[in-house]
Chain A
Amino acid sequence: MSLLEVRDVTMRFGGLTALKQVSLVADQGILGLIGPNGAGKTTLFNCISGFLRPTEGEVLFQGQAIHRRRPHQIVALGIARTFQIVKPFSDLTVEENVLSGLGKPIYPRLHAFWQRTDGPEARARVQGLLERVGLLPWAKVKASSLPIGLQRRLEIARALATEPRLLLLDEPAAGLTSGEAESLAALVRQLAEEGMAIILIEHNMRFAMNLCHRLVVLNRGEILAEGRPEEIQRNEAVIDAYLGRVRTEGEGG
């Protein structure tokens, strides 16, 4: 049984079919989801994380159907995500942003009315997570005042605070300098080595090729190819649909 199984997922918005019978599996390791703009990558993330309900098909996590569940229930099962357009809690400090993820097991319980957030254990875990993503010096800073590169790290730290088994990263390297992207790649690799399953959407081909163990190429809502990075690099259909155009097209959401 695979950790995550997407089975024939179709997502239609009125007349537009964003995903057409997409199937994939993910286990431990780093799976890259690549494809041109509008290929349906973020839509697929939204279907997995409960922000969208697939029109057809199902999503199984550890053998359990999750495609009818709501986002907070899916987080509770162990799937965390980041957002392509970062969504930090702007008015809260970096520390409080990460803290919010630690509350995952407490929010559904009435205990949340009594238990205070400033316990020593929570504090220590926040420190650890901030250290891990390199945000410790900014702990007391308002999230909104961080530059974009650090906000992306903050999103990851907040997602990690929910202790996921599967982590969905939506363009984690977008807007990062090459140095920042490298340290991000190191972090992702380390998480994978510790046993976490990771799916990441990436526009930067070199970044994805270097980092991912396996790649899935989406084009116009359909899976075009799937395989190891070196296989994808040689795949004619992929080169036509994506790699060939990427040089002239530039980048974007």
Chain B
Amino acid sequence: MSYYLTVAILVGIWVSLALSLNILTGFAGQVSLGHAAFFGIGAYTSAILTVNYGQSFWTGLLAAILVTGLVGSVLGLPSLRVRHDFLVLATMGVNFVVVALFKYVDFFGGAMGIVGIPAPSLFGVTFRGGLPYLALVLAYTALVWLVSWHVSRTWVGLAFDAIRLEEDAAAAVGISVPRFKIYAFMLSAALAGGAGALYGHFIGSLFPDTFVFIESIVILSMVVFGGVGTLRGPIVGAIILKAAPELLRFVQDYRFTLYGALLVLMMLFQPHGLLGDESWLWMQLRRLWGKGEAITGVEGQEMAESEEVAA
């Protein structure tokens, strides 16, 4: 039972990581292969505050969100100068630098990492793992989802769409492209930072190798596999890609082979992901729910022409 709880807690943390990356990559179109760095910065912030400075878990969590958001807005600066594949390379570089700092700077614990990270307590009850911790993780995941949902309905969300689709046209409607790219990095990083804090206090110890570049690939895979830019895809992607290796031992051994193969297959046959707006599965589900499809260009055109004829 506690094994499944552990898996559920880890899955919850990775769902919030995937959702947070989705704001940056899915909404604002800035593909990042450095998300594990933000995950790590959050984890380290909270761990250092609680272990070295005796702060409570709650202060640590809040600080992780704020500090990572701040660092994210600085580390997002390369996105103002480079786009597309060059940005991907730059974010990779950021990931390497951050991990190197964790590893070689004593303040961050060096290669020995940080141990003895306290468990959170609420109303005098301390809980590491178990149902209360799962509830905490799920509450945070719900918060990340709500933020994503809210953003997608605001002017910030529309500006993210505009920047993703056509930067020049975005500027032509009054959107400051640099400002909104930084917003995306800040939001995405802040939410990943909170996930990092939840991870550190769950495991109890941190090592730099947890936050290496390959973890960034895993998180991006979850987003792409599930359906980039949607509010459902990253959840499903993270659940499948995190739970499968944990629950199926033979998958664990071939974890990265599986990720790689899945990515290749998805890119070839379902570039919108498992549940993207134009994916096969999502179309089938919509049909089942009887929602039908939105009016397509051709149908709309015919409709209008018949109206013109009538007039």
Q: Check if B85 is an interface residue, CB within 8 A of chain A.
A: no
A117 with B300: in contact, given A70-B171, A71-B172 (CB under 8 Å)?
Answer: no
In the complex, A108 Cα to B177 Cα: how many Å?
11
Q: Is the CB of A107 within 8 A of B166?
A: no
Q: Check if A60 is an interface residue, CB within 8 A of chain B.
A: no
**Shortest Cβ gap from B168 to chain A (Å):** 6
Q: Is the CB of A158 within 8 A of B298?
A: no
| Stretch of A142-150, A195-203, A238-246 on the interface side | A142-150
Interface size on B, residues (CB 8 A): 35
A92 with B301: in contact, given A107-B159, A145-B296 (CB under 8 Å)?
Answer: no
In the complex, A105 Cα to B175 Cα: how many Å?
10
Interface residues of A in 117-176 (CB under 8 A from B): 117-118, 137-138, 140-142, 144-147, 158-159, 161-162
Nearest A residue to B306 via CB reads: A137
**Shortest Cβ gap from B296 to chain A (Å):** 6
Interface residues of B in 131-187 (CB under 8 A from A): 151, 153-159, 161-162, 164-166, 168-177, 179-180
Q: Is the CB of B169 within 8 A of A117?
A: no
Q: Is the CB of B166 within 8 A of A89?
A: yes
Q: Which residues of B contact A117 (CB under 8 A)?
A: 153-155, 157-158
A89 with B169: in contact, given A116-B154, A117-B155 (CB under 8 Å)?
Answer: yes
Q: Which residues of A contact B169 (CB under 8 A)?
A: 83, 87-89, 158
- Best-buried of A107, A138, A145, A162 by chain B (most CB within 10 Å): A107
Q: Is the CB of B165 within 8 A of A92?
A: yes
Q: How many A-B residue pairs have CB under 8 A?
A: 128
Q: Is the CB of B172 within 8 A of A103?
A: no
Q: Which residues of B contact A161 (CB under 8 A)?
A: 173
Q: Is the CB of B153 within 8 A of A118?
A: yes
Q: Which residues of A contact B171 (CB under 8 A)?
A: 50-51, 70-72, 75
Q: Check if B303 is an interface residue, CB within 8 A of chain A.
A: yes
Q: Is the CB of B296 within 8 A of A106?
A: no
Q: Is the CB of B165 within 8 A of A104?
A: no
Q: Is the CB of B176 within 8 A of A108?
A: yes
Nearest A residue to B166 via CB reads: A87
Q: Is the CB of B174 within 8 A of A103?
A: yes
In the complex, A76 Cα to B172 Cα: how many Å?
9
Q: Check if B253 is an interface residue, CB within 8 A of chain A.
A: no
Q: Is the CB of B172 within 8 A of A140?
A: no
Q: Which residues of B contact A49 (CB under 8 A)?
A: 172
Contact of B304 among A138, A158, A162 (CB under 8 A): A138
Q: Check if A81 is an interface residue, CB within 8 A of chain B.
A: yes
Interface residues of A in 66-101 (CB under 8 A from B): 70-73, 75-76, 80-81, 83, 87-92, 96, 99-101
Contact of B176 among A81, A99, A107, A115 (CB under 8 A): A107
A115 with B168: in contact, given A91-B161, A103-B173 (CB under 8 Å)?
Answer: no
Chain A contact residues (Cβ within 8 angstroms of B): what range?
35 or more
Q: Check if A13 is an interface residue, CB within 8 A of chain B.
A: no
A88 with B166: in contact, given A96-B158, A100-B158 (CB under 8 Å)?
Answer: yes
Q: Check if A112 is an interface residue, CB within 8 A of chain B.
A: yes
Nearest A residue to B180 via CB reads: A107
Interface residues of B in 262-311 (CB under 8 A from A): 294-298, 300-301, 303-304, 307
A89 with B298: in contact, given A112-B156, A113-B156, A161-B173 (CB under 8 Å)?
Answer: no
Nearest A residue to B305 via CB reads: A137
In the complex, A228 Cα to B177 Cα: how many Å?
39
In the complex, A159 Cα to B153 Cα: how many Å?
22
Nearest B residue to A136 via CB reads: B304
Q: Is the CB of B154 within 8 A of A114?
A: yes
Q: Which residues of A contact B168 (CB under 8 A)?
A: 51, 71, 83, 87
Q: Which residues of B contact A142 (CB under 8 A)?
A: 294, 297
Q: Is the CB of A107 within 8 A of B155?
A: yes
In the complex, A49 Cα to B156 Cα: how many Å?
23
In the complex, A192 Cα to B5 Cα: how many Å?
68
Interface residues of A in 14-29 (CB under 8 A from B): none
A70 with B176: in contact, given A90-B165, A142-B297 (CB under 8 Å)?
Answer: yes
In the complex, A12 Cα to B158 Cα: how many Å?
35
Q: Which residues of B contact A73 (CB under 8 A)?
A: 176
A159 with B172: in contact, given A87-B166, A92-B165 (CB under 8 Å)?
Answer: yes
Q: Is the CB of A91 within 8 A of B159?
A: no
- Best-buried of B159, B170, B175 by chain A (most CB within 10 Å): B175
Pairs across A and B, CB under 8 Å, 22 listed: A72-B174, A72-B177, A83-B168, A83-B172, A87-B169, A91-B161, A91-B164, A99-B158, A100-B162, A100-B173, A107-B176, A107-B179, A112-B156, A112-B159, A115-B155, A117-B153, A137-B300, A137-B307, A141-B294, A145-B298, A147-B301, A162-B173
The 8 closest A-B pairs by CB, nearest first: A145-B297, A137-B304, A104-B174, A71-B171, A112-B155, A87-B169, A75-B174, A89-B165
Which residues does B use to contact A, with CB under 8 Å? 151, 153-159, 161-162, 164-166, 168-177, 179-180, 294-298, 300-301, 303-304, 307
19 extra A-B contacts, CB within 8 A, seeds A100-B161, A103-B173: A50-B171, A71-B171, A72-B174, A75-B171, A75-B174, A83-B169, A89-B161, A89-B165, A91-B161, A96-B158, A101-B174, A107-B179, A108-B176, A111-B155, A116-B154, A140-B295, A145-B298, A159-B173, A162-B174
